C-alpha cells in the first residue's frame, strides 16, 4: 500500500463541488476516531507488504464471489452460509450492530496480541469500507447497509426464502462467532475462508470472471491460468453482459449492494487517477475529445496509454484521467485546448471512488406531484415550491412569485407586450444571480394590483399542452397568485437535502389553496378559471393528500391545516426550535420529567438545550433548582393573555402587540397589534416577550432600524413630489443590520390613498410636518372646507360627501399640500390612516396648531378668500375657533409704541413672525414695523365695537359708519371662548357673534360688499343638513337674502352673512382698506399651490368656494372658450363648476368648468369689477382700455380713476344685477 493511502472512512461524497485532492482540508475534518483507524490501518499496511496484499486481494475477491453467489440465491446451504457468514463478519466489526456482547468485546479490545489485532483490523477495514459506501450513498444513517440488503432480498426472493435465510444466517453467525473466538490467529480465519470458499472461485459468475481475469493479467503470474479461462469468457461475451453497469443500476431500480461494490475498490495495482484542471463547463466535451484523440492516435499507430477519462458532473472544472503513469496523462492532454496543462495531480486512492460517485439523492428521490421542493438557483434559489407536474426532464412547480410590479412598471419596455419576458423579474431571472436580499419579496400575485400598477389586465390563457387555464402575466403562468414555473429537475432540491419548510413559507400556499377552494365552491365560472376551478380544487385536494406517501417530513406541511403544519415544522427540527428561543423568553416544559414547569430562558446552549430559570420556588432554596437544562424540543413558549409580545418572524415580523387569546393547544396566539389594531394569529414560537423592552410601544414603531417611525410622512426617491405615511414594515424586524434592513418592506399610504410597499432604501427621507419655516408652511397647512387652516394635530371631522369615512372624526397626522393624512380611530384598515383633501374635512379644534406667532400669507389668503368663513362660519362650528389660529395681531388695531411712528394707531394688514404691516389710521399710509414696536389696542373695546357693529348690521341691515367698528374689533380674543353651538343658537343679532368675527374676514369681501350673493344660489342647492353646526334654518334663509338686495331680514336668522351682503351699500367706509388687502395679489399663488379647498360638498362652505371662483364673480360675464358664448355667472355650483346664464338663450343655463371660460374684457362704459390685484373687489365703470393692456376705470362710489391691468378686470352685467354683482 502506498504511504499516501488514506483511511477509507473518509466521507463526504457530496462535498461535491470541491474536487478530491484537498488533503489539508480533509485532514482537518477528520475526527479522532478516524485517526485511530488510520493508525491501525497504516500499521496494517506497513507490516503487511506483499503477502498481505495477496491476502487482501484474495479475500476481497472471495468476498465478491461469495456475495455474488448469495445474490444468485442458490439453494446451496454452503453458499448461504458463506454469505451470511461473510455478513456477520462485517456486521460484527461494525460497531453499529445490535449484536452480541462479544462483538463489542472484540472491538474494544486493545490489549490483544498483534496478530489478533491484525485479524480484527482486516475486518475493520472492511467495515470501514462499508461505512464509506454508506456515506457515499446515504450521507449518514448507519443502518442503511442492512436495510439495503434487506431490500435486495425482498426484490429478488419471496418472503419465506428470506426468513429461512435469515435463520440460516443467524445460525451461521453463531458458528462464525464461535470460530472467531476460538481462533488465535487471523491466518486461521483466512485459511478457514480459503478452505471453505477458495475452491469455488473458478465457478464464479461470468461477470465476475472478467474482472478476475483482469487482475490476474495485471499480476502476470496468473496470466496463464487466465488464458485457460479465456474460452469460457468468450462464450459469455457473446451473450449480453450479465452484469448491469453501475451507471444504469440505479435507474433500473436495482440498487447497488454496497458490499458488492466495495470489493471493487481501487488497489495499488489499478491504474491511477490524475486530476487535470480544465475550463469549467467543458469537461464532457474534453472527455469526448480525449477519447477521439485516443482513437486517432491508436489508428496512427502510437496509442495513448491512458485507460479512461472521467468527467464527473459533480466536480466542475476538472477531468480525471486514468493512467498508469503521470507521463501518460501529460502525453494525452498535450496540446489540448481548454485543458490546463500545468497541473496534473494524482488522486489518492481513497478519493478515487469519490470521483465516480454521483450524489445519489438526485436520482434516488423521485419527484412526486405535490411534493415540496426547493429551487436550486436563479431568482427563486432556496424558495419553497410544490411540484405540480412532473415531466421527463423538467417539472412544473408552483411557488410564490417574486415579482416587483413597481420595478416592472418602471420598465419603459413594458407596454403590455406579452410576448417576451422582458422586464424586472425577468432580468433578474436570467441575469447574474441576484443576491438574495436584492430579490423582491415573495408575494402572491394580485391581479387587481397588476392592473392598478401596470395598467394591464391579467388574462386567462389555456396552456397549449395541457389545455389548462392559467392567468398569464409577463409570460409566466399564474393561478391563484402562485407562479407555475417550469424548471429543470436538476434545479430542484428535494428529499433529505432539502431544508424543511417553515410556516411563513407555507402560508401563501395555504392562502392560494384556500382561494382555489373558495373559487371552486362558489363556482365562479365568470372568472377565467372557469371549469378548471374544480380541477384546480381537485388538484389541491390531491396535492394535500399526495404527500402523505412522501416522507413524513414533507407530508406534514402539506396538510391543509396550517397550524398542524406549523407544529410539524417546528417540531421537525430541534435546531430550528432552539433558534426561536431567546434569553428572557417565557417558556413551559411540555415534555420530559419537568413537564409543565414554567420559567424564563436563561441562556440557549449550543447542544440543543436551553438553560431555564424555573419559576417554581422550592423549599431547597432557589439556587439549587432554579436553573435547569431542558431540551429545546421539550419547550414551548409560554404566554398568558395580556402579555405584550413581539413577533419575531413571518409576515408580521417586527410588530408588537398584546396576546388576547390563546388556542387550546397553546401553539397559536391571537395578538392584537399595537399599531395597526389588527388581530393576528401567530404561532407562539414566533413570539417573544417584549414587556421588558425599554419601550415596547416605541420600539414597535421604529422602521428601518430606527430611521423612521410608523406614521412618519416620507418621500420616495422615485416620487419626490409625492409623500406617504408609513403604515407598517415587514421582514426587517427591529434589527439594525444592513441585510435585515434591505429585506425590510415598508408599507406606505400615499397621498392618493393608495398603498404601496417599498424597501427602506427607496425612501428618500422624512418630510417634517412641523416645520415652521414659512416656505414649508404651504405644505404643512391646508385649508379645510371652511377655509380654515388645518395642521397636523388638529382634530377634524370628515365631511366630504363622497369620502368613504364621512362623518368620522380623527386627528390630522400630516398635511401634504392639500391632502391630509387623518388617523381615524374607528377605521381598521391602513392602521386607521385615511387620506382626504382639506376640503373634505372640517377642522374641529385649533389644537396644537394654535401658534400665535406665525402668520404666513396663507393665513392671509385664507382669511381673504373666506370672507364668509367667519361671517357665516363664525356661528357655525369652528370658524370662530379657527380664527384663533391666525396671527394674534392680524387685522387688529394696534398702537405703535416706539420709533418715529410712536403713538400712531393702525390696522395690521399683514404679519410675519417679526414684523407687521400696518395701515396707519391717521395718514392712510402703510408701514412695516417690528412687532415689538406695536401694542394691541384694548381688547375690550374691540369686543364692544364688534358688538355694536354686529348689532347694527343685523338689525338694520345698515352698516353705515358703524362698520368702521371693525377697526376696533380685532376681537380675536373672544373667539376661543365661544363654542360653535353657542353661536349657532345665538340670535342673529347677537352682538357676540360679530365680536367674534375678526375684521379680517370681512375686509376682502367687505370691500366689495360681501361675498354672500354668490352663495345665494349655491346655498339654494345645499341641503340644510350640511349645516351641521349652524342649524337647519340657514340653508333656507340664505337664498332669500339674495332675492332682494337689502332685504336681508330673512337672512338674519342665519344671520351672519348679511352684513357682508349689505356691505356693498356702505362700501365707502371700507374702501380705503380694500386695496390694502394684501392677500389679494397672492391669491393666484394660492391657486397654484393646489390648495383651494374646492369642497365637493355644499355647506356654508359655499363661501370657501369663493376662492375657487375668485376670478369669476357672480354676475361677472364670461366667455366660454370653446364656443365663444358669453354668459353671466349665475352661481358657483361645485368647486369648478359655474352655472352660466348664457346670453341670447332664454333661461338657458349651462354648467361649465371654470377653466373653460374666461372673463369678458370690458370696453369703455362697461361695468366692471376688479377680479384680482390690489383692487380686487372694486367695481366701477370702465373708462377705457389702452393698448398697453391697462384698464382705466372709475371706481364706483368714490368716483376715483384707477388703472389696473385689463387681465385683472372682468365685465359685469349692468343694472340691478350689476348692483349685486359680487364675487364668490
> What does the binding site for other proteins look like in residue numbers (CB under 8 A)?
71-73, 152, 155-156, 207, 210-211, 214, 217-218, 237, 239-254, 261, 264, 266, 270-271, 273, 283-285, 287-288, 290-292, 294-295, 298-299, 303-304, 306-314, 322, 352-353, 356, 358, 362-363, 366, 392-393
CA distance 527 to 459: 10
* C-alpha dist (Å) from residue 963 to 687, 1006, 1060: 70, 10, 11
- Name which of 249 and 544 has its Cβ closer to other proteins: 249
Measured between its terminal Cα atoms, the distance across the chain in Å is 108
CA distance 217 to 365: 40
Min. distance of Cβ 695 from other proteins in angstroms? 57
- Grid coordinates representing 716 are 420616495
Q: Is 260 helix (H, G, I), strand (E, B) or coil?
A: helix
- Name which of 373 and 799 has its Cβ closer to other proteins: 373
Min. distance of Cβ 243 from other proteins in angstroms? 5
CA distance 1014 to 1027: 18
- Name which of 79 and 585 has its Cβ closer to other proteins: 79
CA distance 419 to 1092: 46
- Name which of 271 and 724 has its Cβ closer to other proteins: 271
Place of cell 411557488: 399
- Name which of 357 and 855 has its Cβ closer to other proteins: 357
- Name which of 371 and 1074 has its Cβ closer to other proteins: 371
CA distance 1193 to 1212: 13
- Name which of 489 and 1150 has its Cβ closer to other proteins: 489
CA dihedral 1044, 1050, 1053, 1055 (to 10 degrees): 10
- Name which of 73 and 183 has its Cβ closer to other proteins: 73
Q: Is 290 helix (H, G, I), strand (E, B) or coil?
A: helix
What is the per-residue DSSP string for 751-777?
A: TTS-EEEEEGGGEEEE--S---SHHHH
Distance between alpha carbon 1184 and the CA centroid of its chain, in Å?
A: 67
Residue-wise over 432-461: b if at least 16 C-beta within 10 A, else e? eebeeeebbbbbbbebebbeebbebebeeb
Q: Is 1195 helix (H, G, I), strand (E, B) or coil?
A: strand
- Name which of 290 and 384 has its Cβ closer to other proteins: 290
Q: Is 225 helix (H, G, I), strand (E, B) or coil?
A: helix
- Name which of 71 and 1111 has its Cβ closer to other proteins: 71
- Name which of 214 and 681 has its Cβ closer to other proteins: 214
Angle between helices 159-182 and 186-197 (to 10 degrees): 140
Min. distance of Cβ 62 from other proteins in angstroms? 17
- Grid coordinates representing 360 are 445519489
Min. distance of Cβ 288 from other proteins in angstroms? 5
CA distance 1211 to 1128: 10
Instruction: Taking the CA atoms of 452, 455, 459 and 465 in sequence, report the sign of the dihedral they define.
Output: negative
Residue-wise over 1148-1171: b if at least 16 C-beta within 10 A, else e? eebebebebbebbbbeeebbbbbb
Min. distance of Cβ 309 from other proteins in angstroms? 4
Min. distance of Cβ 351 from other proteins in angstroms? 13
- Name which of 250 and 496 has its Cβ closer to other proteins: 250
Residues in the chain: 1224
Min. distance of Cβ 144 from other proteins in angstroms? 18
- Name which of 487 and 1069 has its Cβ closer to other proteins: 487
Min. distance of Cβ 291 from other proteins in angstroms? 4
- Name which of 285 and 809 has its Cβ closer to other proteins: 285
| Residue 394 backbone phi and psi in degrees, to 5 | -140, 170
Min. distance of Cβ 296 from other proteins in angstroms? 9
- Grid coordinates representing 609 are 438545550
Contact 623, 651 (CB under 8 A): no
Min. distance of Cβ 315 from other proteins in angstroms? 9
Min. distance of Cβ 541 from other proteins in angstroms? 25
Other C-beta atoms closer than 10 Å to the C-beta of 1141 total 18
- Grid coordinates representing 119 are 485479524
- Name which of 363 and 1153 has its Cβ closer to other proteins: 363
Which one-letter DSSP state was computed for residue 15? G
What's the per-residue H, E or C state across 645-681?
EEECCCCCCCCEEEEEEECCCCCEEEEEECCCCCEEE
Q: Is 1173 helix (H, G, I), strand (E, B) or coil?
A: coil
Min. distance of Cβ 375 from other proteins in angstroms? 18
H/E run at residue 976: helix 973-977
- Name which of 83 and 728 has its Cβ closer to other proteins: 83
Min. distance of Cβ 160 from other proteins in angstroms? 16
CA distance 672 to 729: 16
Nearest to 916 by CA among 900, 899, 896: 896
Min. distance of Cβ 324 from other proteins in angstroms? 9
Task: Give alpha helix (H) positions in 1071-1148.
Answer: 1079-1088, 1105-1108
Min. distance of Cβ 358 from other proteins in angstroms? 4
H/E run at residue 1193: strand 1190-1195
Q: Which residues pair with 798 in a beta bridge?
A: 841
Nearest to 1093 by CA among 1109, 1075, 1105: 1105
Min. distance of Cβ 544 from other proteins in angstroms? 24
Min. distance of Cβ 11 from other proteins in angstroms? 18
- Name which of 296 and 807 has its Cβ closer to other proteins: 296
- Name which of 356 and 1126 has its Cβ closer to other proteins: 356
Min. distance of Cβ 298 from other proteins in angstroms? 4
Task: Provide CB contacts within 8 A for 24, sequence distance 6+.
Answer: none
Amino acid at each position: 500500500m502506498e504511504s499516501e493511502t488514506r483511511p477509507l472512512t473518509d466521507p463526504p461524497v457530496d462535498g461535491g463541488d470541491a474536487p478530491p485532492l484537498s488533503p489539508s482540508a480533509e485532514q482537518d475534518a477528520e475526527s479522532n476516531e478516524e485517526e485511530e483507524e488510520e493508525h491501525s490501518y497504516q500499521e496494517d499496511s506497513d507490516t503487511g507488504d506483499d503477502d498481505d496484499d495477496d491476502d487482501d486481494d484474495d479475500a476481497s475477491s472471495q468476498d465478491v464471489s461469495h456475495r455474488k453467489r448469495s445474490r444468485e440465491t442458490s439453494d446451496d446451504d454452503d453458499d448461504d452460509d458463506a454469505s451470511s457468514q461473510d455478513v456477520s463478519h462485517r456486521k460484527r466489526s461494525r460497531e453499529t450492530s445490535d449484536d452480541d456482547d462479544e462483538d463489542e468485546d472484540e472491538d474494544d479490545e486493545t490489549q490483544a496480541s498483534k496478530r489478533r489485532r491484525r485479524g480484527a483490523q482486516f475486518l475493520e477495514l472492511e467495515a470501514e469500507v462499508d461505512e464509506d459506501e454508506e456515506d457515499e450513498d446515504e450521507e449518514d444513517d448507519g443502518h442503511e447497509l442492512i436495510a439495503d440488503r434487506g431490500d435486495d432480498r425482498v426484490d429478488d426472493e419471496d418472503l419465506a426464502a428470506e426468513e429461512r435465510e435469515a435463520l440460516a444466517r443467524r445460525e451461521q453467525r453463531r458458528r462464525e462467532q464461535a470460530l472467531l473466538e476460538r481462533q488465535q490467529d487471523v491466518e486461521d480465519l483466512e485459511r478457514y475462508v480459503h478452505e471453505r470458499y477458495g475452491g469455488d472461485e473458478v465457478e464464479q459468475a461470468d461477470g465476475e470472471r472478467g474482472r478476475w481475469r483482469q487482475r490476474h493479467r495485471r499480476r502476470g503470474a496468473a496470466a496463464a491460468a487466465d488464458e485457460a479461462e479465456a474460452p469460457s469468457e468468450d462464450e459469455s461475451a457473446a451473450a449480453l453482459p450479465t452484469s448491469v453497469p453501475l451507471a444504469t443500476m440505479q435507474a433500473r431500480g436495482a440498487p447497488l449492494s454496497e458490499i458488492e461494490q466495495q470489493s471493487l475498490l481501487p488497489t495499488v495495482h489499478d491504474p491511477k487517477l490524475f486530476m487535470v484542471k480544465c475550463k469549467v463547463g467543458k469537461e464532457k466535451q474534453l472527455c469526448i475529445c480525449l477519447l477521439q484523440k485516443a482513437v486517432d492516435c491508436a489508428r496512427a499507430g502510437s496509442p495513448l496509454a491512458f485507460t479512461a477519462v472521467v468527467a464527473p458532473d459533480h466536480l466542475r472544472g476538472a477531468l480525471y484521467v486514468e493512467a498508469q503513469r503521470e507521463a501518460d496523462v501529460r502525453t494525452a492532454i498535450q496540446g489540448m485546448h481548454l485543458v490546463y496543462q500545468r497541473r496534473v495531480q494524482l488522486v489518492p486512492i481513497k478519493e478515487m471512488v469519490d470521483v465516480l460517485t454521483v450524489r445519489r439523492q438526485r436520482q434516488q428521490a423521485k419527484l412526486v406531484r405535490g411534493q415540496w421542493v426547493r429551487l436550486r438557483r436563479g431568482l427563486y434559489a432556496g424558495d419553497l415550491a410544490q411540484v405540480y407536474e412532473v415531466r421527463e426532464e423538467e417539472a412544473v412547480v408552483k411557488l410564490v412569485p417574486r415579482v416587483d410590479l413597481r420595478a416592472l412598471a418602471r420598465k419603459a419596455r413594458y407596454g403590455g407586450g406579452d410576448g417576451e419576458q422582458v422586464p424586472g423579474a425577468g432580468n433578474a431571472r436570467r441575469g447574474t444571480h441576484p443576491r438574495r436580499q436584492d430579490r423582491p419579496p415573495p408575494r402572491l400575485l394580485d391581479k387587481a394590483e397588476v392592473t392598478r400598477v401596470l395598467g394591464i389586465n391579467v388574462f386567462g390563457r389555456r396552456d397549449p399542452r395541457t389545455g389548462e387555464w392559467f392567468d398569464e402575466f409577463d409570460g409566466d403562468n399564474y393561478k391563484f397568485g402562485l407562479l407555475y414555473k417550469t424548471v429543470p429537475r436538476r434545479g430542484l432540491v428535494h428529499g433529505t437535502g432539502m431544508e424543511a419548510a417553515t410556516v411563513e413559507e407555507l402560508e401563501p400556499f395555504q392562502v392560494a389553496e384556500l382561494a382555489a377552494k373558495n373559487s371552486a365552491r362558489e363556482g365562479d365560472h365568470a372568472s377565467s378559471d372557469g371549469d378548471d376551478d374544480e380541477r384546480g380544487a381537485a388538484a389541491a385536494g390531491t396535492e394535500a393528500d399526495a404527500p402523505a406517501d412522501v416522507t413524513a417530513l414533507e407530508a406534514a406541511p402539506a396538510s391543509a391545516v396550517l397550524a398542524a403544519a406549523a407544529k410539524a415544522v417546528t417540531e421537525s427540527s430541534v435546531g430550528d426550535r432552539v433558534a426561536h428561543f431567546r434569553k428572557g423568553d417565557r417558556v413551559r416544559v411540555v415534555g420530559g420529567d419537568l413537564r409543565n414547569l414554567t420559567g424564563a430562558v436563561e441562556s440557549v446552549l449550543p447542544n440543543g438545550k436551553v438553560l431555564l430559570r424555573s419559576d417554581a420556588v422550592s423549599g431547597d432554596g432557589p439556587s439549587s433548582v432554579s436553573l435547569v437544562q431542558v431540551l429545546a424540543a421539550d419547550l414551548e413558549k409560554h404566554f398568558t393573555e395580556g402579555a405584550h409580545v413581539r413577533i419575531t418572524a413571518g409576515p408580521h415580523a417586527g410588530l408588537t402587540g398584546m396576546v388576547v387569546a390563546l388556542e387550546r393547544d397553546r401553539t397559536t396566539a391571537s395578538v392584537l397589534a399595537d399599531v395597526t389594531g389588527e388581530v393576528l394569529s401567530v404561532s407562539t414560537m414566533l413570539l417573544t416577550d417584549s414587556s421588558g423592552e425599554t419601550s415596547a410601544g416605541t420600539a414597535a414603531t421604529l422602521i428601518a432600524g430606527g430611521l423612521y417611525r410608523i406614521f412618519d410622512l416620507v418621500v420616495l426617491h422615485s416620487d419626490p413630489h409625492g409623500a406617504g405615511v408609513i403604515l407598517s414594515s415587514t421582514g426587517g424586524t427591529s434589527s439594525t443590520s444592513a441585510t435585515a434592513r434591505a429585506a425590510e418592506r415598508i408599507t406606505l399610504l400615499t397621498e392618493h390613498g393608495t398603498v404601496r410597499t417599498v424597501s427602506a432604501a427607496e425612501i428618500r427621507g422624512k418630510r417634517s410636518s412641523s416645520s415652521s419655516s414659512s416656505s414649508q408652511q404651504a405644505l404643512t397647512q391646508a385649508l379645510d372646507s371652511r377655509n380654515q387652516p388645518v395642521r397636523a394635530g388638529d382634530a377634524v371631522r370628515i365631511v366630504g360627501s363622497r369620502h368613504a369615512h364621512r362623518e368620522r372624526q380623527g386627528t390630522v397626522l400630516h398635511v401634504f399640500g392639500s391632502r391630509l393624512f387623518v388617523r381615524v380611530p374607528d377605521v381598521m384598515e391602513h392602521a386607521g390612516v385615511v387620506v382626504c383633501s382639506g376640503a373634505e374635512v372640517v377642522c374641529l379644534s385649533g389644537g396644537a396648531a394654535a401658534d400665535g406667532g406665525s402668520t404666513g400669507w396663507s393665513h392671509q389668503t385664507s382669511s381673504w378668500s373666506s370672507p364668509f368663513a367667519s361671517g357665516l362660519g363664525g356661528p357655525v362650528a369652528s370658524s370662530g375657533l379657527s380664527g384663533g389660529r391666525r396671527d394674534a395681531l392680524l387685522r387688529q388695531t394696534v398702537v405703535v409704541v416706539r420709533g418715529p411712528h410712536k403713538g400712531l394707531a393702525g390696522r395690521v394688514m399683514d404679519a410675519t413672525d417679526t414684523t407687521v404691516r400696518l395701515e396707519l389710521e391717521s395718514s392712510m399710509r402703510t408701514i412695516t414695523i417690528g412687532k415689538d414696536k406695536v401694542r394691541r389696542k384694548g381688547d375690550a373695546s374691540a369686543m364692544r365695537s364688534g358688538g355694536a357693529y354686529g348689532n347694527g348690521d343685523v338689525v338694520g341691515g345698515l352698516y353705515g359708519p358703524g362698520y368702521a367698528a371693525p377697526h376696533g374689533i380685532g376681537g380675536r380674543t373672544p373667539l376661543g371662548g365661544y363654542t360653535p353651538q353657542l353661536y349657532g343658537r345665538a340670535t342673529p343679532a347677537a352682538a357676540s357673534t360679530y365680536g367674534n368675527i375678526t375684521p379680517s374676514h370681512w375686509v376682502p369681501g367687505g370691500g366689495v360688499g360681501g361675498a354672500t350673493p354668490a352663495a345665494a344660489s349655491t346655498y339654494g342647492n345645499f341641503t340644510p343638513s350640511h349645516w351641521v353646526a349652524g342649524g337647519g334654518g340657514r340653508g333656507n334663509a340664505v337664498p332669500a337674502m339674495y332675492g332682494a338686495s337689502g332685504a336681508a331680514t330673512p337672512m338674519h336668522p342665519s344671520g351672519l352673512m348679511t352684513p357682508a351682503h349689505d356691505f356693498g351699500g356702505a362700501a365707502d367706509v371700507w374702501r380705503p382698506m380694500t386695496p390694502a388687502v394684501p392677500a389679494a395679489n397672492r391669491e393666484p399663488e394660492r391657486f397654484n399651490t393646489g390648495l383651494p379647498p374646492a369642497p365637493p360638498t355644499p355647506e356654508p362652505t359655499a363661501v370657501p368656494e369663493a376662492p375657487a371662483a375668485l376670478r369669476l364673480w357672480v354676475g361677472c360675464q364670461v366667455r366660454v372658450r370653446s364656443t365663444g358664448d358669453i354668459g353671466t355667472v349665475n352661481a358657483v355650483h361645485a368647486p369648478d363648476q359655474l352655472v352660466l346664464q348664457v346670453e341670447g338663450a332664454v333661461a338657458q343655463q349651462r354648467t361649465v368648468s371654470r377653466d373653460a371660460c374666461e372673463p369678458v374684457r370690458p370696453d369703455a362704459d362697461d361695468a366692471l369689477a376688479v377680479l384680482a390685484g390690489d383692487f380686487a373687489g372694486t367695481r366701477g365703470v370702465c373708462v377705457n382700455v389702452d393698448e398697453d393692456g391697462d384698464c382705466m376705470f372709475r371706481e364706483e362710489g368714490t368716483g376715483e380713476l384707477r388703472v389696473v391691468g385689463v387681465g385683472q378686470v372682468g365685465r359685469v352685467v349692468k343694472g340691478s344685477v350689476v348692483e349685486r354683482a359680487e364675487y364668490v
